[in-house]
């Protein structure tokens, strides 16, 4: 099954662990507030869990995402000619203000 692959499970475990680290940090803050202690930093175990779970989630998602495309555009543009690259049909405008400015204007006069 593709859904239960190793990398999917790794990603899910990493994200759940990251949420648990965030919840533990919030609980630690509320405990300090209730006990009227001053906050200096998070305990080392919460920091390590957050960092480790971040790396585990990144490892899982990088292998789950598949192959990346190359950043350089040369591989994509190798089989295209210069005329194809400079031809931008999206910028052709056939409905323009000339019709409103000159009522005698018609498309048939110009072969359109």
Measured CA to CA, the distance from residue 17 to residue 12 in angstroms comes to 8
13 belongs to a structural domain: yes
Taking only Cα atoms into account, the Rg of the chain, rounded to an integer number of angstroms, comes to: 30
**Residue 14 burial class via C-beta count within 10 angstroms: exposed 0-12, middle 13-18, buried 19 and up:** buried
Q: What is the pLDDT of residue 78?
A: 74
Instruction: Name the domain count of the chain.
Output: 1
Q: Can you give the pTM of this predicted structure?
A: 0.58
Q: Which domain holds residue 29?
A: 6-65
The residue that leads in pLDDT, 108 or 98, is 98
82 belongs to a structural domain: no
Q: What is the pLDDT of residue 53?
A: 97
Q: What pLDDT, in 10s, does the model give residues 12-70?
A: 999 999 999 999 999 999 999 999 998 888 899 999 999 999 999 999 998 888 777 77
Q: What is the pLDDT of residue 29?
A: 92
Q: Residues with Cβ < 8 Å from 54, sequence gap 6 or more?
A: 14, 18
51 belongs to a structural domain: yes
In this structure, how many other beta carbons lie within 10 angstroms of the beta carbon of residue 20? 14
What would the mean pLDDT of 71-99 be, rounded to a whole number? 68
């Amino acid at each position: 099954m593709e859904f239960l692959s190793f990398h999917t499970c790794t990603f899910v475990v990493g994200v759940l662990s990251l949420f648990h680290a965030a919840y533990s940090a919030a609980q630690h803050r509320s405990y300090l507030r209730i006990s009227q202690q001053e906050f200096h930093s998070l305990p080392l175990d919460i920091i390590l869990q957050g960092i480790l779970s971040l790396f585990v989630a990144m490892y899982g998602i990088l292998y789950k995402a598949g192959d990346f495309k190359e950043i350089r555009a040369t591989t994509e543009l190798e089989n295209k000619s210069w005329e194809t690259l400079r031809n931008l049909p999206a910028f052709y405008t056939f409905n323009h203000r000339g019709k409103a400015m000159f009522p005698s204007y018609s498309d048939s006069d110009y072969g359109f």
